[in-house]
Structure 1
Amino acid sequence: MQGVSAQRTGSRYEVAVVGAGAAGLAAALASAQAGVPTALVGRHAPVADGRTVALLDGSVRFLKALGAWDEVGAKASPLCTLQIIDDTGSLFRPPPARFHSSEIGLEAFGWNVESAHLVAALRRCARNQPNLTLIETDAAGTEPGEEASRIGLADGGSVEARLVVGADGNRSPLRQASGVKVREWTYPQSAITTILAHAKPHGDVSTEFHTRSGPFTLVPMPGGLRSSLVWVNGKAAAERLAALDDAGLAEAVERQARGMLGAMRIDGPRGLVPMRGLLVATPVASRLALIGEAAHVFPPIGAQGLNLGLRDAASLRDVVVRAHRDGRDPGSRAALSAYANGRRIDAAARTAAVDVLNRSLLTDLLPLDLARGLGLLAMANLGPLRRMVMREGVLPRFGAPELMRA
């Protein structure tokens, strides 16, 4: 059945994805395209808070395989150069470091696009995808069974699936109901997000200032004279900035950016995002696999969040395809264990890397400043190390999902 809205009490699927954000849409599309009868459960809520996502090369390959990239890419800007500037005031400040995608044979490290455009493109693909049924209502709990799970729907209906995929966000009701243990933490920071217009062209360069309150990042957008902003600051300072009018905020951003992009103005919606983290002990439970922010949450630093969620979706697709091809149960313990084992290291490593970077900026201890400065200096000047870090940042060298490989 093609992707059309449906409310079918008692319908049964091999896979049911709960959550209609980018990760959930990608997971449902990937499963359905492999010939697996799939349902996508969830309302399609609008995304409009000024956030963008930098889709790294592996994620771009995945979106191409799903048939969504042509539409996404038409509204995306390439990230050809990454620039890191130490603005901490440390005694051990290294000079600015630049990393070029051409050094590792890529046209761009990734492409920056508004989150709303990405979700809209995936949604249009879903509505035309055979084997995918869209059930555009909220889930109201699940009941795992011996052969399948029953998903209750907010409208009173229900569906069944041998594998339920929890893509229902950082407050995931499915995760909470499953009993999966989580580790949660908060940071004394919030992130201001918005879109900027500026007088000087960005030249496809993404710039990240490391400050004592967190990273301040300008990411290119199409046209050369627009960029997206992620400004991590202390909670009180972020709230003061968020309370400014557009002219006042633009002036503050221009000053923090040292005028490198000239005069600025706010050119999109604004958001204020609390900084928190979450990591599950395991991304699986009985007939349940967790992906995206249902499995891991960390600050908007280093373009890792959604890219990690898309790797979850692509990795789960590989497990489901193998089970479907061999006539096995995609929700079996063996299938779920394969997914969990493949995702555990990647999620833990990315979470730890972002956490260490962020916390290291918040302290002025000389040993930590020295270690951070020397690390950046080494990456900037040691060719083999620099290229290894760039490749690993774009896509893990080992265990990459099939649809993300070169």
Structure 2
Amino acid sequence: MFMHFDHAEIEEGPMGHMVEDRHLRRALLKAVAADPAITMLNDTRVTDQTVEPTGITLTLDGVKTLRARLAVGADGRGSGTAERAGIKRIAWSYGQTALVCVVDHEKPHHGIAHQFFMPPGPLAILPLTGNRSLIVWSEASANAAAINALPDAQYLDVLRPRFGSFLGELSLTGPRYSYPLGLSLAHSMTAPRVALLGDAAHGVHPIAGQGLNAGLRDVAALAEVIADAVRRGEDPGNDAVLARYQEWRRFDNASLALATDSFNRLFSNDNALLRLARDMGMAAINALPGLRRTFIREAAGLTGDLPRLMRGKPL
């Protein structure tokens, strides 16, 4: 059973674009360097944070201090900002590891992404420039460690039967990576004088490819809330302002975490009853254009209360 999503079914254009992290990182660092209001503190670590009635003080490497009205934690799943603020989280491992690599292939991909669902986990084939695709390949962790230890030629021998022959001959290009898969969800996205965004607030399974998109929505929502608060003369770090951000983003992120967790548990197994249920579900989606368009619009990030920046509008 398969599902086919075609961006021609919606009016807004392509469902999405694949942008390599190295290009995003380069653009981000260039923008930061060009902004005189931003100071880069390389190789510097926050060791303490102290909340006061009108601000928060951050201690850097136990010596230098910085004071601000708001601290934003964008420091990943092991967020020190969240821990120091007393924000707890729910987290668990899926017992899966993602094997990540880029392959050259003989035939063009025509900009089409594929995802295969197999008992150990999903295999995503995501189009890049030229005849290249990014592979995000989930396996049981013990098996993934053994595969990742193989030389490139043998690694490809394991990948090929899972990938198939529809794009012709394959070859590896660039380094290979791996990282463990799990769910991590902060109990709150805010604390006094603190806001969390991205993986610091919610780390999800890559099965839907929405982790980065959710983080970008956090950034856009927090920027809008802060900008509007400053225009009204409010303190951008006070509880009322942060509550607006939490209310805006919390449900969306919790829903994404629940959806990705459920999809992974539904598809990453070989249970006959679950296989029947998911086959029937996919058949229903394929047979109902309205339902299919709903899924396409959701995957494209076109649903919900989108911040102005996500709609191409200025703050």
Could you say which TM-score interval applies, normalised by the shorter chain?
over 0.9
Give the AA of the match of 2:112.
V
Q: Distance in 2 between matches of 1:252 and 1:113?
A: 27
In the alignment, structure 1 residue 180 sits paired with structure 2 residue 87: yes
Q: Distance in 2 between matches of 1:155 and 1:183?
A: 29
In the alignment, structure 1 residue 321 sits paired with structure 2 residue 227: yes
Q: What aligned pairs does 1:126-275 form with structure 2 within 5 A after superposition? A: 126-136=32-42, 137-154=44-61, 156-223=63-130, 225-275=131-181
Q: 1:156 deviation in Å? A: 2.3
| TM superposition score normalised by structure 1 | 0.74
In the alignment, structure 1 residue 100 sits paired with structure 2 residue 6: yes
Q: Distance in 2 between matches of 1:345 and 1:396?
A: 16
Give the AA of the match of 2:107.
K
Q: Is the 8 A contact 1:206 1:218 kept in 2?
A: yes
Q: Distance in 2 between matches of 1:251 and 1:264?
A: 10
Match of 1:361 among 260, 264, 267: 267
Deviation per residue, 1:304-349 (Å, 9 max, x gap): 1111111111110111001111111011000111011111111011
Q: Distance in 1 between matches of 2:207 and 2:268?
A: 14
Q: Is the 8 A contact 1:254 1:262 kept in 2?
A: no
Aligned Cα root-mean-square deviation (Å) = 1.4
Q: Is the 8 A contact 2:123 2:138 kept in 1?
A: yes
Q: Is the 8 A contact 2:122 2:268 kept in 1?
A: no
Change (3 A) 1:193 1:165: same
Q: Distance in 2 between matches of 1:372 and 1:123?
A: 43
Q: Is the 8 A contact 2:120 2:138 kept in 1?
A: yes
Q: 1:396 deviation in Å? A: 5.3
Q: Distance in 1 between matches of 2:168 and 2:302?
A: 36
Deviation per residue, 1:78-115 (Å, 9 max, x gap): xxxxxxxxxxxxxxxx2x32111121124321111221
Q: Distance in 1 between matches of 2:232 and 2:203?
A: 34
Q: Report the count of equivalent residues.
A: 311
Q: 1:134 deviation in Å? A: 2.7
Q: Is the 8 A contact 2:3 2:282 kept in 1?
A: yes
Q: Is the 8 A contact 2:107 2:167 kept in 1?
A: yes
Q: 1:151 deviation in Å? A: 0.9
Q: Distance in 2 between matches of 1:348 and 1:373?
A: 26
- When structure 1 is superposed on structure 2, of 392-401 and 313-322 the one drifting more is 392-401
Q: Distance in 1 between matches of 2:46 and 2:16?
A: 34
Report what 1:38 is aligned to. none
Q: 1:391 deviation in Å? A: 0.6
Q: 1:235 deviation in Å? A: 1.1
Match of 1:116 among 16, 22, 29: 22
Report what 1:331 is aligned to. 237
Unmatched tracts of structure 2, length 5 or more: none
Report what 1:276 is aligned to. 182
Q: 1:132 deviation in Å? A: 2.7
Q: Is the 8 A contact 1:195 1:228 kept in 2?
A: yes
Deviation per residue, 1:341-383 (Å, 9 max, x gap): 1111110111111111111123333332222112211222211
Give the AA of the match of 2:87.
V
Q: 1:201 deviation in Å? A: 1.0
Give the AA of the match of 1:382.
L
Q: Distance in 2 between matches of 1:165 and 1:395?
A: 24
Q: Distance in 2 between matches of 1:97 and 1:187?
A: 25
Give the AA of the match of 2:189.
P
| TM superposition score normalised by structure 2 | 0.95
Q: Distance in 1 between matches of 2:171 and 2:64?
A: 48
Unmatched tracts of structure 1, length 5 or more: 1-93
Q: 1:155 deviation in Å? A: 7.1
Q: 1:130 deviation in Å? A: 4.4
Q: Is the 8 A contact 1:214 1:358 kept in 2?
A: yes
